[in-house]
Amino acid sequence: MSREIIAPLDHTAYLRLALTEARKSPPKATNFCVGAVLVDEERNEVLATGYTLELPGNTHAEQCCLMKFAQTRGVSEDSVGDILPKSTVIYTTMEPCVFRLSGNAPCVDRIIQTQLGGHEGIRIVYLGVKEPEKFVGENEGRSKLQAAGVKSIHVPGLEDEILQVATAGHAKD
């Protein structure tokens, strides 16, 4: 899979790549169309990409990234922290969820789980927008990440475009 080369630490370019993934999400009134990119920041290498509903089971973008990375390395998603490079970060168009109405594990918990067992795991989440309060009320994802030692850093400049893509398929107020 060929990709345009992204300069190291070009957060906007990586977020644009996540937005390209989000555009692949099937529009649905009950989901946000979100994209995510798992990156080895030290090597400036994309490890995996994902988007909402890419994989079976009402999957979210961050979940798809972690599942796909684990699958390509022959481990379970629960063990992905064992194999992530120490400088792994994730870019996501929208703040990771802290609660799932579907009963699936929230994306915040999946990110924090990468640190279990003394692993470095994902220590930085770069995000484009906070999750709108449409489905589960105020998202406390950033607070929970911070409490677990994971930085969440807002990358400004793409908010309007991200929200337009995220809400495709939603009824307009």
Q: What is the pLDDT of residue 70?
A: 96
Domain span including residue 69: 11-166
Q: Tell me if 172 is assigned to some domain.
A: no
Cβ-contact 170, 31 below 8 angstroms: no
Percent residues over pLDDT 70 in the chain: 92
- For the stretch 30-56, pLDDT in tens is 889 999 999 999 999 999 999 999 999
Q: For residues 148 and 103, which has the higher predicted lDDT (pLDDT)? A: 148
CATH number at residue 40: 3.40.140.10
Q: Crossing angle for the helix pair 61-73 and 11-22, nearest 10 degrees?
A: 100
Q: Tell me if 173 is assigned to some domain.
A: no
Q: Tell me if 6 is assigned to some domain.
A: no
What are the angstrom distances between the C-alpha of 36 and each of 117, 118, 173? 24, 25, 27
Q: Tell me if 17 is assigned to some domain.
A: yes
Q: Tell me if 4 is assigned to some domain.
A: no
pLDDT at 1 over 50: no
Average pLDDT, the chain: 90
pLDDT tier at 132 (50, 70, 90 boundaries)?
A: low
Q: Tell me if 1 is assigned to some domain.
A: no
Q: Tell me if 171 is assigned to some domain.
A: no
Cβ-contact 24, 48 below 8 angstroms: no
Q: What is the mean pLDDT of residues 52-79?
A: 95
Number of folded domains in the chain?
A: 1
pLDDT tier at 172 (50, 70, 90 boundaries)?
A: confident
For residues 98 and 125, give the distance between their C-alpha atoms in angstroms, rounded to a whole number. 14
For residues 129 and 33, give the distance between their C-alpha atoms in angstroms, rounded to a whole number. 12
Cβ-contact 88, 47 below 8 angstroms: yes
Q: Which of 124, 172, 157, 168 is nearest to 16 (CA)?
A: 157
Q: What is the mean pLDDT of residues 62-67?
A: 96
4 is catalytic: no
pTM, 2 dp: 0.92
Q: What is the pLDDT of residue 129?
A: 92
For residues 132 and 41, give the distance between their C-alpha atoms in angstroms, rounded to a whole number. 28
For residues 61 and 59, give the distance between their C-alpha atoms in angstroms, rounded to a whole number. 7
pLDDT at 137 over 60: no
Would strands 35-40 and 88-94 be described as parallel, antiparallel, or unpaired?
A: antiparallel
Given the residues 62, 95, 131, 159, the one annotated as active site: 62
